[in-house]
Amino acid sequence: MYLVCGGAGYIGSHMCKHLHEAGHEVVVCDDLSTGHAGALLWGTHAYGSIEDTEFLRSLFSRYQFDGVLHFAALSVVAESMREPQRYYRNNVAATLNLLRVMREFEVNKFVFSSTAAVFGEPQARMISEDHPTVPLNPYGLSKLMVEQVLRDSCRAYGLRAVALRYFNAAGADPVARIGEAHDPETHLIPKLVRKALGEDLAVTINGTDYTTEDGTCIRDYVHVDDLAQAHLLALDHLDHAVGMHSFNLGNGTGHSVKQVVEAVQEVTGEGLDISVSGRRAGDPSHLVAASKLARSVLGWAPRYPRIVDVIETAVRWHASPTYAAWMAEPPGSEVSCTNHDAIGAQSNQYRHG
């Protein structure tokens, strides 16, 4: 049985799907502050926050966890520049709280959702795990701080941990049961797709003077299902590996903002009128993963290497009635979550699938 913190969120919910399909029992810890109740399709929902020590102790007392997968974090770069203390409290202090309770209950397997933002401005065309880590924003620094905490905890307490450094997560469940649904949306592909599907959404290219071929930022887009598969492989890796391990996850192919706009237009058949503005603080020009280590050590192989295939799953999701229903129900709502387990309050477990 695995605890998935932030399992009602975008990547966390896909992780729950993959764990369920692999035959694992799942408990989702999520306070629905940013996640969606409609994403709770696999496992048992424990309504609460990892900042709440007594809630966590109740949870660990009740269930025998084989390990923890941690997705509960704030992740908007621009917001982290405006509100750094909020990011350090939520991403660092809350994770320390979770690790402390794990140690109390002798749960020693941990997979951490990290980010390419730990690297900062790239010093190489392809970013490998040994690239210098000099984050440009509090979001990236908060993730790097947790990686250091994990490294020290593995050495001191015998924790076994993997940090998976995502590049740009994108796409959705191929049959459109779950997907990306943020309000406001900050990620490029869903913003472009929503605009192409007719939403009155402002989309801006932030900076056209970067040192790239067309002047716009280059990013490595990796399908969310491919990320979830890497987590399953990381759990298997921790069955025999000790200490702390970091892996970069990306397709190894960069696409500029303008190229992504063109790909969305190709998939949807819709023209897009996109405005242009200056650079955003904290944005590096070029982030592309060298994922050889994940491929060789974990045996990971992305199933969605083409950007158009990633976008096609996003289009299917954003055109679905499920997406529309989620967006009509603001984050934090439990209206559609008729089965949940509020530890210490009620005991409604559920299983789906």
Share of the chain above pLDDT 90, in %: 83
Query: What pairs with residue 169 in β-bridges?
Result: 222
Mean pLDDT of 36-65: 96
What is the per-residue pLDDT for 262?
A: 96
Q: Where are the domains of the chain?
A: 2-328
End-to-end CA distance of the chain: 16
Residue 338 confidence (pLDDT) above 60: no
Dihedral angle, C-alpha 183, 187, 188, 190, nearest 10 °: -50
- Please give the Cα distance from 7 to 36 (Å, whole number): 9
CATH 3.40.50.720 corresponds to the domain 2-328:
yes
* CA angle centred on 28, ends 182 and 54, rounded to 5°: 110
Give the tens place of pLDDT for each residue, 84-116.
Answer: 999 999 999 999 999 999 999 999 999 999 999
| 228: confidence class by pLDDT, cuts 50, 70, 90 | very high
Lowest mean pLDDT among 78-87, 312-321, 340-349: 340-349
- pLDDT band (50, 70, 90) for residue 331: low
Q: Is 139 a catalytic residue?
A: yes
For residue 66, what are the contacts with CB-CB under 8 A and spacing of at least 6? 1, 2, 107, 109
- Residue 229 confidence class, pLDDT cut points 50, 70, 90: very high
Using alpha carbons, select from 180, 146, 177 the residue that is nearest to residue 163: 146
Q: Maximum distance among all alpha carbons in the chain?
A: 57
C-alpha distances in angstroms, 41 versus 5, 187, 322, 351?
Answer: 15, 24, 13, 8
Closest to 352 in 3D by CA, of 65, 88, 61, 25: 25
Per-residue pLDDT at 342: 44
Which residues have C-beta within 8 Å of that of residue 174, sequence separation ≥ 6? 225, 313, 316
Considering the candidates 139, 166, 221, 323, report the single residue annotated as catalytic: 139
Beta strands 109-115; 168-170: pairing state: unpaired
Across the range 50-68, mean pLDDT stands at 97
Amino acid at 88: Y
Rounded to two decimals, what is the model's pTM? 0.91
Question: Percent of the chain having pLDDT more than 70?
Answer: 93
Which residues are registered as beta bridge partners of 226? Answer: none
Give 352's pLDDT tier (boundaries 50, 70, 90). Answer: very low
